[in-house]
A and B are shown apart, each in its own frame.
Chain A
């Protein structure tokens, strides 16, 4: 079925990365990362339902350095996917396709997700001291 000799459109090895293509694949990557985040959320809910020991184990893992690294990645992923998702929804309404606008909205998404990620972590540490 797969025809190895078929013509391919120019792809990764032909075009250098641009803001459009990089953000496009980042939307997919963050979407998949958020699926893992959803698994972690359901695990956390199940642990909370199960009892003290299970919940303490879940919190312990999330507070470890690897847990915090994951949480940081998920924070950025959720803000990026959210902001870029809104960018997608605007495109779906047929707006914002001019090359200049696409570039500007792309950089805006990057800036917004970086700032919101930072604010979230400052707030989390600020509200609870160094956390547990």
Chain B
């Protein structure tokens, strides 16, 4: 066995069928862990807001904690969802052109959704 100049890390980095190593897997777990408290907070909050009018909802969302938590929930949720949908598409869509187009459309839609959410939340936070 000849000694290689490459480190062990250098040799394994970026392997895997998509060439992205463990980054996808790891991001899916990190967002999952972040979503545990966030979804619980969200369900409890929505229950408390059942039947509330716009004034009540907006006032609630404009509170810094709720504004931050909702931003994190939507942000982590969209990132996690986008990573998850990628795997679903890769599993079921075998024709390469359709798969690549589908992945691109899905990722684009995810960015758009995040933008709409960010603008909406900021607007509520700033203007009520």
Contacts and interface: CB of A to CB of B under 8 A. Distances in A.
Interface of A: 1-2, 28, 31-32, 34-35, 38-39, 41-42, 45-46, 48-49, 51-52, 55-56, 63, 75, 78-79, 82, 85-86, 88-89, 92, 120, 123-125, 127-128, 131-132
Interface string B48-75: 1011001001100100000000100010
Given A89-B32, A92-B29, A128-B50, A32 B58 contact: no
Contact of B36 (A31, A86, A124): A86
Contacts, number: 88
Interface size bucket, B side? 35 or more
Given A28-B88, A34-B81, A127-B47, A45 B117 contact: yes
Interface of B: 29, 32-33, 35-36, 39-40, 43, 46-48, 50-51, 54, 57-58, 61, 70, 74, 77-78, 81, 84-85, 88, 94-96, 113, 116-117, 119-121, 123-124
Q: Is the interface of A mostly helix, strand, loop or mixed?
A: helix
